[in-house]
Structure formats: structure tokens, C-alpha cells
């Protein structure tokens, strides 16, 4: 097969399609970008419910910044530090920043574990952190198992530039999408039969898109599995402080304190994008218990450092224990309120969601609205929701979900008024679907009746069929 001009001139990375930009997950974003909702300027626009972003606590951060002007080099009170912050910094990062992040990670996990600042490796957001881990642990063609449904951009983060494959471990609604050791073993064995070298297992805990947390027994089972296979476990814990109800979050860091395992196989990815709502700051963290990974990751972080200005500001903010404690408490409280508001609104129109206790989204069940239980039917429904209902929600298939009809819907990246608008659009849509369904049912029923021969009850006869002895007949004669 002849190569295109671009394939001849450019690299395989530049010409392959593994970034995922053409998937429905990103197509929904494009629909929003073309026609973004605004309560005044464009009230018929698309509401962005495909972006897992926390905008509920900006007031707390802004209040802290106003009270601590020295933390910024862009204020009169802090500008005297400008030169020290602006000059070259090595890729280890500011000691104060790493210490502050380590303390925050501990607090986000309820203070049940502590973290060594010397094991913290910086990267450009969780995207860069996940890629850094893959570069450290695997070669092109190697594979990582990933329980599905899973974060769609794992394909990009872990595989686009590294050449690493992701092998889904299918989980389903029969047990609320719980990861089982049997499913892991089956996926591992299939990879072995296909001569694929499995280097590890990557999980998101709390889960994106499910909003669930892994219990201790499941985490123990996962650690035992990777220990037996002598493969790595990467735990993406970027929603660790976005838990708003029970069950509470348990980090893999707690589990390895409770059981024997090879700690060189354990790695954590963290960021401040979700828990603090700061994705624009691009603060990604690799925390590895493997010295070689820490050393290699530090060198690789040259390609995606956190800016020194950001480090300087956050070192001060995250070192303020009173602020951090209040922020974590208030963040959880506000997420719980918003989650309750949104799920109760869905319940009023008969829409259920998977029970969840964490994250910035719900896993919405629209299986009953599918014409058929197929991927094609799911995509048709998704297009209607995008183009007619004007909501950017993400179809389950983009999360490698094996069951059609599930959708991830984000609820923390907007104000209460916009949530109400979204819920009203959903209500109107569901009612229209119900009317269509009833009309279709009635039409089918009428069709059946028109095609069914008449049958008469022998005890009820037409006057023309009555016996002459009938009183009514005698009365007429």
C-alpha cells in the first residue's frame, strides 16, 4: 500500500491516530466550542457537561490569595522575590513545593499515610505524569491492563507517544462494575496467548467515570495480583480529595503498609487539577516507591516542569494548614450538595445513576432510552443529546464500556442556575421520548388489533343471532 505524502515526510507519532482527538469524547467538546451556552448571550447553546472540572471552591482560593499577597511575585508585596523565582530552576523543583505537596497528599488521604517529598516527581499535569510513568516502565509494544469503563484519555496519555498498548479488563453492571481477579486473570491470559508482554495494571481510584472508590479487599486483591505476576501497579488518585460521602477513599499507599508486597512495583499519579480545581496550573505528580523510577522520572520532567511561579504560589498556599483543612472540608461539602441536587433532579424524570461517592460526575443510566441494546443505538442517542438537547455528555463507549447506554455527566464545572437549565432540558427530552414511546406502543397495538380476526363470546350474541325464544325477540314480535 502506497504511503501518503505526510506518512513519507512525518514521523509515525505525527501521522498515527492514537491521540484520540477524533473520538466521540472529544467530538462533544468540539460541539460545545462551536456553540457554547451562555445564560444571556446564547441561552440555546450547548452546555458543557463533558468536562470534569471543579469550579465550586474558587472563592476560597481567591480569598486566600487576597489575604496572602506575598505568595505571588506579581504583587507589590511579593515582587522582591521575582528574580529568585524567574531564574533557572533544576528539575527537582523547589524543596518547599515538594514538601507542601507531600503534606497535602497526606491530608487528602485523611492523614492515614505520610509521603516523602524526596519521592515526588513533577510533571505537566496528570497527563504528563501518566506518560512519564509509562516511559519509565514499558517499551513500545508492551501493554498495561486497565479496568473498563476507564478514562478515555488514558489511550492518549499512556500510549500515543510511548507506543504502549492498553488492554481493557471488562467490568459490567452486574456487580456495579467492580474489578474482579477473575476478569484480570482472563485479560492477562488472553494477552499471553497473543504474545503481548504485560508490564502492569493501571487503575483510577476514585474511578473516572464511575465516581466509585475501591474497597480494601479489592485493593488487596489487585496488589496480590500484580505481585504474583511481577508486574507494576499504577494508581491514578487524582480525585483523592474529591470524595463527598461514604464509602471513603483508601489509597494504595495504605494497603502496602498492611501487607507484604514488592514496593518497587507501586506507583501513584496525582495532580491538583481536580481536587483543587487548578487544571490550568498543570501540576502533575509521580510518586513512586521505586528509586530508579524516581531518578528517571526526574530527568524526564525536564520536558514538562511545573513553572517556578506556580511552585512558589502553591508552596505557600499548601503550607497553610488552616486553609488546607478548611478547603478539603468545604470542597467535600459542596460536592455533596451539587451531587445531590443533580441526581435528585434526574430521579424526578426516572433516570438512575450508579451509586457513587466521589468525583465530579455521575455515571448515568439511559439504557431504557435505547431503541436497541447496541453501540450504534447508543451513538444515535448521544447525537440527539448533543445536537437537539444541546448537552455535551460523554457516551460510555468512549470509556471502553462493554454495555451500551451509560453516559458520564459532569456537574461541578458550572453554577447552580446552569445545572437547573440542564436538568430542565433533560426533563423535556425524557418526556418527549416517553410520548414517542407511548405513541409507538399504541400504534403497534392498533396494528395488532386490526390484523386479529374478531372472536365473539358465545354468551353475547348479535340481535340477528338471537334465539326466537329470547324475551327481547318475543317483545319485538
Say if CB 400 and CB 202 are below 8 A apart.
no
Cell of 20: 484520540
**Is 41 considered catalytic here?**
no
**Distance separating alpha carbons of residues 170 and 133, to the nearest angstrom:** 23
Determine which one of 155, 274, 385, 426 is catalytic: 274
**Distance separating alpha carbons of residues 442 and 275, to the nearest angstrom:** 50
Q: How many residues does the chain have?
A: 477
- Cα atoms in the Cβ-side hemisphere of radius 13 Å centred on 112: 15
**Is 70 considered catalytic here?**
no
Opening angle at CA 397, ends 202 and 203, nearest 5? 10
Q: Where are the beta strands (DSSP E) in 256-346?
A: 266-271, 283-288
Q: Is the peptide bond before 206 cis (omega within 30 degrees of 0)?
A: yes
Determine which one of 32, 37, 115, 151 is catalytic: 151
**Is 325 considered catalytic here?**
no
**Distance separating alpha carbons of residues 75 and 82, to the nearest angstrom:** 10
Number of other CB atoms surrounding residue 180 within 10 Å = 14
Dihedral (CA of 18, 211, 57, 308) sign = negative
Determine which one of 27, 155, 157, 236 is catalytic: 236
What is the DSSP-derived secondary structure letter of residue 388? I
**Is 115 considered catalytic here?**
no
Determine which one of 120, 179, 226, 238 is catalytic: 238
Q: Which residues are catalytic?
A: 151, 236, 238, 274
Amino acid at each position: 500500500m502506497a504511503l501518503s505524502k505526510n506518512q513519507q515526510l512525518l514521523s509515525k507519532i505525527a501521522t498515527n491516530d492514537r491521540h484520540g482527538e477524533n473520538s466521540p469524547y472529544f467530538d462533544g467538546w468540539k460541539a460545545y466550542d462551536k456553540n457554547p451556552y451562555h445564560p444571556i448571550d446564547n441561552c440555546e447553546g450547548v452546555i458543557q457537561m463533558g468536562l470534569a472540572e471543579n469550579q465550586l471552591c474558587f472563592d476560597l482560593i481567591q480569598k486566600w490569595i487576597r489575604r496572602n499577597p506575598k505568595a505571588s511575585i506579581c504583587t507589590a508585596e511579593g515582587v522582591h522575590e521575582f528574580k529568585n523565582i524567574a531564574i533557572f530552576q533544576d528539575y527537582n523543583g523547589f524543596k518547599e513545593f515538594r514538601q507542601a505537596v507531600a503534606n497535602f497528599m497526606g491530608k487528602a488521604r485523611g492523614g492515614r499515610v505520610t509521603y516523602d517529598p524526596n519521592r515526588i516527581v513533577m510533571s505537566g499535569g496528570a497527563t504528563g505524569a501518566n506518560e512519564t510513568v509509562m516511559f519509565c516502565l514499558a517499551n513500545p509494544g508492551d501493554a498495561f491492563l486497565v479496568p473498563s469503563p476507564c478514562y478515555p484519555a488514558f489511550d492518549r496519555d499512556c500510549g500515543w507517544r510511548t507506543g504502549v498498548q492498553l488492554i481493557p479488563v471488562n467490568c459490567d453492571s452486574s456487580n456495579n462494575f467492580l474489578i474482579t481477579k477473575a476478569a484480570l486473570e482472563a485479560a492477562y491470559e488472553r494477552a499471553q496467548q497473543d504474545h503481548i508482554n504485560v508490564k502492569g495494571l493501571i487503575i483510577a481510584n476514585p474511578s473516572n467515570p464511575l465516581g466509585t472508590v475501591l474497597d480494601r479487599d479489592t485493593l488487596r486483591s489487585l496488589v496480590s495480583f500484580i505481585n504474583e505476576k511481577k508486574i507494576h501497579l499504577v494508581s491514578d488518585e487524582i480525585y483523592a480529595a474529591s470524595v463527598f460521602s461514604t464509602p471513603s477513599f483508601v489509597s494504595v499507599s495504605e494497603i502496602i503498609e498492611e501487607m507484604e508486597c514488592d514496593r518497587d512495583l507501586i506507583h501513584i499519579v496525582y495532580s491538583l487539577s481536580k481536587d483543587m480545581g487548578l487544571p490550568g496550573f498543570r501540576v502533575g505528580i509521580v510518586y513512586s516507591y521505586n528509586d530508579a523510577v524516581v531518578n528517571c522520572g526526574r530527568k524526564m520532567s525536564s520536558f514538562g516542569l511545573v513553572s517556578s511561579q506556580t511552585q512558589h504560589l502553591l508552596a505557600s498556599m499548601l503550607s497553610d494548614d488552616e486553609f488546607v483543612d478548611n478547603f478539603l472540608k468545604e470542597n467535600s461539602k459542596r460536592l455533596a450538595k451539587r451531587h445531590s441536587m443533580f441526581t435528585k433532579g434526574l430521579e424526578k424524570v426516572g433516570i438512575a445513576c450508579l451509586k457513587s461517592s466521589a468525583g465530579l460526575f455521575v455515571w448515568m443510566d439511559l439504557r431504557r432510552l435505547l431503541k436497541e441494546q447496541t453501540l450504534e443505538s447508543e451513538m444515535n442517542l448521544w447525537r440527539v443529546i448533543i445536537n437537539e438537547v444541546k448537552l455535551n455528555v460523554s457516551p460510555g463507549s468512549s470509556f471502553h464500556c462493554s454495555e451500551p447506554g451509560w453516559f458520564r455527566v459532569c456537574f461541578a464545572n458550572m453554577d447552580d442556575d446552569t445545572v437547573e437549565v440542564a436538568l430542565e432540558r433533560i426533563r423535556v427530552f425524557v418526556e418527549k421520548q416517553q410520548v414517542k414511546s407511548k405513541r409507538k406502543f399504541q400504534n403497534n397495538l392498533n396494528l395488532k388489533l386490526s390484523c386479529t380476526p374478531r372472536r365473539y363470546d358465545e354468551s353475547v350474541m348479535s340481535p340477528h343471532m338471537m334465539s326466537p325464544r329470547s324475551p327481547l325477540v318475543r317483545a319485538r314480535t
